[in-house]
Chain A
């Protein structure tokens, strides 16, 4: 174990030096080490009071060793040179017991990297007391409007590095700040509204404005909810709702594992139309509008990588081992040597449109305005991207372009590929939403309007 200095990230040069030392005596034909040293401070609150304030110092290391075409991996949290050497030996033990991998052509070699993004000092040094004061301010603002706040406010700083015996030697330092805010009102018609965002620096996270947005929605929902019968309705989906859909679309469609096992909707459909023309989806770890990241879990450089272009399916993403098995190239999305999914796009962007949110809602004759979803699941029929989920925290019935009433939460069941074929408007502005799997993953997305979204049930609240 290595001692830490409070408020300082582990220097990248120190991490790389330790990797070099451990790799010099690595067993096997090839070896790879990926490490990170992270500090994560999470504050959670309910009813405008902090109930969880935690600070974690977490290290992680993954070793992979190739021995006569056999691969083994091991992970741990001791980043000392001795600890890493032990990890390499453990990985070699696993490799020695495994049969050779067919088609594996070895670890990846160096690739171009996007320029580094400096970690943000303000985010890195934010003290618990400063954080508590910022939250108290928004709690007071909410109270003045008759609402209470629930949610979380997290800051994270991380230094990471990957090196292998084929010449990869990369490092980065990063910060991110993210918040989830729910404004809630009390009796006689309890209601909730939601806003969330993540950014690479605290100064890019408009905490008070987001709190205002959440409270606005809660206040707008402070009326008896209207029960809408199941059926097809036009919807305006906010970025948080789109982001949740994209997480599942990634897992069932673009992940290396889904493509390899044949369950992805992209299997046999690369180059074919899978959604409407107005939908373009890409992954870009180099774009500072999201949470930038220079390289993947194998040290392969990030770049803009198009998944769906104007409705045409382009490609899934691949780590080196899956790419070799399938005769593809690694795409810079490997999750690491011990991941089950192999590779996953974690810096998603939806190309923006030109229609304002006000116009999307204002020109809707009858339909729903939806802030976020709850508990999506995309395993119903992955080939059709058939998913289900519930509305939550700010869902409204719209008539003649105006909010008429909040709704009783509804269940939807819909092929997302078909739904994305009926998009008839996207906003020009986008918001970055932290992805469920964390680790610096974010989706940067506009709001969108979809015609005839299928609702299949109503909750009984």
Chain B
């Protein structure tokens, strides 16, 4: 997970970097072509002029790339506007001076040894000339810096906007799934359907069932803030839940429980036990024509609360995966993957002979 993240990051950076080199080369080649053309048009074709333009263009190419890499390495773009501006300005001043020094260092020996020709065979380096040379280079470099920074800022804005939208969409999906896991629609609508039949058949039991169903729904809806509940509270709701399921499955659902009274005050994420029971019924009872027996155990040990639910294994592998309910439970415990554990506890689902055993450990 992390490895692949790093890899895509670095490939993306490499791609962006090679894009920059192409663009920068193109840009300064164009600049060189333009200044050569203008120089020849206004001052005539002098080999010394050509040397100056080429040297300055090479200097600008190297200098701009250096500013970029320095700015990236020291994260200038993360700074505020003022911090970024004065750093950029300083870089422009220094780099422009360096480019002019470099040009002079190439031009003066070349002139002295007559490798290149200039009008009068001399270069003018009076202070005002030197300042003019430096200023024109600095202006070009400043424009380059402004363009580069602007482009970068735009990209960053777009990326962060996309990341924000993606995170938002992900959170909405998770919330939706969590609600689905807590308010299992299949369970609710089956219960209502059974209830309608029961109203004709046995009105007293029907009234009881309304109570059980309400309590189950309330528990699922009220505890959405993630606050933990006591096992006693959770167990009361699971009993309501089982009462509703008993009306659906009738004698196909047989439950054996062993809840240690000492464990009742232990705390666990809301719905944790219910999701285990729900899962056990879905995959261990509903798929067997004759139903089966469900075992629910809870006790305390040195580590904390231990809850175990087991059910007959499904006959065929056809029943769908242990989907959103258990994923939600893992998320509640902060467990990343199946079989892993976290600060809060661990959760394990394993086959033992003909039974499927779900083991939940919650640190207290």
A binds B: no
